[in-house]
């Protein structure tokens, strides 16, 4: 059973049916003395099947709802009365943000504003428990933009987003910080590197490569595949989030990373080899298919997790090769989860490719097939 080291009684998780959110909820649900309320809009990225049997537990409730619905949020705070909010609800796919930027601004910025205001109104009504309340905003390393070789992002790095997605997350992070400094709302902020693991939507690189390799379909790879990311197993990230919630003082910002930098081509090649090993050797590296790079594609991200390591004694413990192997095995064993999602087209239609015609004033926004 998970031990938090803090007397939490009720936690509201937004975006709890998504990839990272569902992993967090499965961990929280194992603490029988904590009431958990999962709030999710259940868009293309949220699936009740990711929550599984925890929805049958007496300490877990689910509400299908939108963080842009201010009235709903007020009702939730009034009835559920959480002592912690863990805010993960977001539009999160860079490719989608290129052709659907308005949805990202609405959900990630306006939705976060509504949640902050609902939390502040509720927090101001508290008396004895007021000092125990926390609002945790989960950000991303993509807000810092592209990184030169030999450097790493830390909590004081300049924010320089390059995509509509990262710009919307940067805006939401600024709001969370402002609500701490202006209103005193006890906000915690964390930023994390690329997550991978079970229950990730098949439009993201790792599950897309796994499933295309398994089905012997072309595995699209942007450009020359030399873009670098710092990869972290989702359970390591969840453990960091809970450590931050329970031990970091209000106003903290802590970046979460695993010091596991890999190029995209290295990740995809390893996935092909692992699928060969577990599903029969067929030299699936032949399926790797370079495609035109996406606009504004950052070359490299890398997190320096020194602050969270020193202040909270947290470290990522799952080695990349081990975590990727277990992820491949999970997808091979859980066709019942991903087959209905694949049938909806996830991972089979390229997102984020646009026609740019300078004579027309810029991007038209048409989605191009691979």
142 is catalytic: yes
**What does each C-alpha distance from 30 to 21, 35, 36, 330 come to in angstroms?**
15, 10, 10, 21
C-beta separation of 179 from 311 below 8 A:
no
Would you state the structure tokens that stand for residue 336, as one six-digit string?
């019942």
Contacts 24+ apart (CB under 8 A), 295-298: 295/98, 295/352, 295/354, 295/356, 295/363, 296/98, 296/162, 296/163, 297/222, 297/223, 297/227, 298/142, 298/145, 298/146, 298/147, 298/162, 298/163, 298/227
Q: How many CB atoms lie within 10 A of CB 344?
A: 10
* Catalytic position from the list 141, 203, 230, 298: 141
N-terminal to C-terminal alpha carbon distance within the chain: 45
CA nearest 290: which of 184, 339, 219? 219
Question: Which residue among 40, 142, 230, 261 is the active-site one?
Answer: 142
DSSP state letters, 176-214: HHHHHHHH---EEEEEE-EEESTT--TTSHHHHHHHHHH
Tokens found for residue 268: 């995809």
CA 149: distance to chain centroid? 24
Is 196 one of the annotated active-site residues of the chain?
A: no
Instruction: Single out the catalytic residue among 122, 144, 165, 331.
Output: 165
Residue 331 bears catalytic tag = no
- The rounded distance, in Å, linking the Cα atoms of 245 and 11 is 11
Task: Tell me the CA distances in angstroms from 348 to 23, 203, 368, one per residue in order.
Answer: 25, 8, 12
CA gap 366, 211 in Å, rounded: 26
So which residues are the catalytic ones? Answer: 141-142, 165
């Amino acid at each position: 059973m998970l031990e938090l080291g803090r007397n939490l009684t009720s936690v509201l998780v937004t975006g709890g049916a998504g990839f990272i959110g569902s992993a967090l909820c499965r961990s929280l649900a194992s603490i029988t003395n904590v009431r958990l309320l999962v709030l999710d809009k259940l868009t293309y990225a949220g699936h009740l099947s990711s929550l599984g049997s925890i929805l049958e537990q007496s300490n877990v409730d689910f509400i299908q709802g939108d963080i842009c619905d201010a009235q709903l949020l007020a009702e939730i705070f009034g009835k559920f009365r959480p002592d912690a909010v863990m805010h993960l609800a977001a539009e999160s796919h860079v490719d989608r943000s290129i052709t659907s930027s308005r949805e990202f601004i609405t959900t990630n910025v306006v939705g976060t504003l509504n949640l902050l205001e609902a939390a502040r109104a509720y927090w101001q009504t508290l008396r004895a428990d007021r000092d125990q309340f926390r609002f945790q905003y989960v950000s991303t390393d993509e807000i810092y933009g592209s990184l030169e070789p030999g450097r790493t992002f830390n909590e004081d790095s300049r924010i320089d987003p390059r995509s509509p997605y990262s710009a919307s997350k940067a805006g939401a992070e600024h709001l969370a910080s402002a609500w701490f400094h202006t209103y005193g709302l006890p906000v915690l902020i964390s930023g994390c590197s690329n997550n991978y693991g079970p229950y990730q939507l098949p439009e993201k690189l790792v599950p897309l490569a796994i499933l295309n390799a398994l089905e012997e379909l072309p595995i699209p790879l942007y450009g020359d595949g030399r873009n670098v990311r710092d990869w972290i197993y989702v359970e390591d990230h969840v453990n960091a989030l809970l450590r931050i919630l329970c031990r970091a003082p209000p106003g903290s910002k802590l970046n979460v990373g695993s010091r596991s930098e890999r190029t995209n081509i290295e990740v995809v090649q390893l996935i092909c080899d692992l699928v060969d090993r577990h599903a029969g050797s067929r030299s699936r590296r032949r399926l790797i298919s370079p495609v035109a790079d996406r606009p504004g594609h950052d070359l490299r991200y890398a997190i320096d997790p020194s602050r969270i390591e020193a202040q909270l004694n947290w470290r990522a413990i799952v080695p990349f090769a081990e975590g990727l192997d277990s992820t491949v095995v999970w997808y091979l064993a859980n066709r019942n989860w991903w087959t209905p999602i694949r049938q909806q087209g996830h991972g089979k239609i390229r997102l984020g490719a646009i026609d740019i015609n300078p004579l027309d004033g810029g991007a038209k926004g048409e989605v191009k097939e691979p």
